[in-house]
Amino acid sequence: MLDGVISTYKRVSTLRKEGNFFTTFYFFLLLAWCLYLNFWRTTFYYNLTPVITIQKLFSQGIVVAILLFVFIAIYKNRLSQTLAFLTGCIAMLVCGGVIGFYDLTTALQSVNIDTLSLLFGIGLISVVLAESNIFDWICRRVLERFGTSNFALFTALCLLTYFISFFVNNLTTILLVLPITATIAKALKLNVMPFVAGEIIASNLGGASSMLGDFPNMLIATQMNVPFFSFIQYMMPICLINLAIMFGYFHSKVDFGDHPNDKATIKLPDVKIKNQRELRLQLAIFALMIVLFMFSTVHAGLLALCGGFSIFLLSSNREEIVRKFRHQDIRFYFLLFVLVGGVKASGLPQTVASALSYFSGGSSFIQCVLLMWAACGLTMFLNAGPTTALFLPIFLGASGAIPDKLIFWALSLGVCAGSSGSLTGATAGPVAFTFMERFEGSRRGSLHKRTFKEYLQYGLPIAYVQLMVSTIYITILFLVRR
């Protein structure tokens, strides 16, 4: 046992020597915070001194101005997302401190450490499993089976994307599937954009079907204590329906030039699974983690951290995994929580909810539907993560007589539809754009306009149909569960 402890310590120490201090630091910080929250059951609440109405409205005006600056800077590509949110956080803390509605202590309390821990753990697992070549191997098997028909190939790739996104984050899924898609499209002289669009939409639907593959669902699950099985029960059926509708739309509207293909023309490298014994143990731990998600009362973030680090320690190529792990995502979402904490502290969500209540005639259900459509629209221009973090407190303020958890499904479906509508809304949109840039070998300016416009031809109709179907689904759930 002592030898095992020493061996584990040496593995952890290696991380620091490998030069990636951030990954190690974030892991132990998140682990300590998760243990504290899990065993002491501490919950942070805002304890803000009430302010007069004029001061509150002035504070909310300042908050809206800061949000507009951040969103315009991101949308116009003036600043990177992280830098824009960092600037917004500094402005929020300075203005909040001067006016008296937000301070550093409240900002730290607004950070949802359980969500960050879940994001860290699932992100680490995604990189570890990707390094084993298991996903590439599955892709190759799919191509060998369905490579003779273009539409069958499209369907198989999208189903595979949906399945992978169900368990790992969307970004990892797209990074795995797109290179293989490009190889096939080039070999068969196909237009790659319908395939890319279908895979992005499928990854959004796969991530929305569970609490593991999509940041919005991670946030809802951890912040509102929604259990793992509830996402399977309520989100998976409607996402599968939307996936089937997507297949019907592409089959009727897109010319795949279907004719028998010669498999010999598709030259893919031979893929072998690395370290099969390690992979079997890692998959067993991952399966156990899923079971604990479903039946355990332990915080999801703590489970993800422990599961992810256990799988990581079983890997033999830890240096490469640490190098590929996107620790910058943790910084970005930390800043996002701080910024949204200022929005909540100003009382803006309650003001928006009150305005919606007035314009909807006091109907909580109409408020819910209006917010779902608004979340879809904002996601198309911003992104799924920031939209969810901003809209969640507004949805809570409008909950009223809405049946339990229905507001969360409405928010998730609205964000999912918006993510499918445009490249800027999709979590993997920037990655897909970079991929298209390299694949086409074009300059950024002309390609950006052409790629964005071409994607809208597929994404916008699908987003509209998804939103209509989701609205019907939410209406049925509301009537059944009243």
Share of the chain above pLDDT 90, in %: 17
Please compute the mean of the pLDDT values over residues 205-226 and round it to a whole number.
Answer: 86
DSSP per-residue string spanning 118-150: HHHHHHHHHHHHHHTTHHHHHHHHHHHHHTT-H
pLDDT tens by residue, 273-324 = 788 888 888 889 988 988 888 777 777 888 888 888 888 888 888 888 888 8
Contact yes or no for 177/139 (Cβ under 8 A): yes
State how far the Cα of 366 lies from the Cα of 402, in Å rounded to an integer. 10
pLDDT of residue 11: 47
pLDDT of residue 258: 58
pLDDT of residue 128: 86
Q: Which two tokens stand for residue 36?
A: 């504290």
pLDDT of residue 26: 59
pLDDT tens by residue, 350-375 = 788 777 777 777 777 888 888 899 89
What band does 446 get if pLDDT is binned at 50, 70 and 90?
very low
pLDDT tens by residue, 407-424 = 889 999 999 999 998 877
What band does 248 get if pLDDT is binned at 50, 70 and 90?
very high
State how far the Cα of 220 lies from the Cα of 226, in Å rounded to an integer. 7
State how far the Cα of 465 lies from the Cα of 246, in Å rounded to an integer. 9
What band does 20 get if pLDDT is binned at 50, 70 and 90?
low
Contact yes or no for 268/140 (Cβ under 8 A): yes
In whole numbers, what is the pLDDT of the chain averaged over residues? 78
State how far the Cα of 54 lies from the Cα of 206, in Å rounded to an integer. 45
Comparing CA positions, the residue from 120, 50, 94 lying closest to residue 306 is 120
**Alpha-carbon torsion 107, 108, 113, 116, what sign?**
positive
Higher pLDDT, 3 or 335: 335
pLDDT tens by residue, 84-143 = 889 999 999 999 988 888 988 888 888 888 888 888 888 888 888 888 888 777 777 777
pLDDT of residue 417: 93
What band does 442 get if pLDDT is binned at 50, 70 and 90?
very low
Higher pLDDT, 424 or 434: 424
State how far the Cα of 437 lies from the Cα of 449, in Å rounded to an integer. 11
193-207, 347-361, 370-384, 457-471: least confident range:
347-361
Domain positions in the chain are: 24-480
Q: Which amino acid is at 451?
A: T
State how far the Cα of 152 lies from the Cα of 256, in Å rounded to an integer. 10
pLDDT of 471 higher than 90: yes
Please compute the mean of the pLDDT values over residues 29-45 and round it to a whole number.
Answer: 53
pLDDT of residue 400: 56
State how far the Cα of 437 lies from the Cα of 151, in Å rounded to an integer. 24
Contact yes or no for 216/379 (Cβ under 8 A): no
State how far the Cα of 426 lies from the Cα of 418, in Å rounded to an integer. 8
Cα three-residue angle 375-377-382, rounded to 5 degrees: 85
Q: Which amino acid is at 418?
A: G
Cβ atoms within 10 Å of 143's Cβ, excluding its own: 21
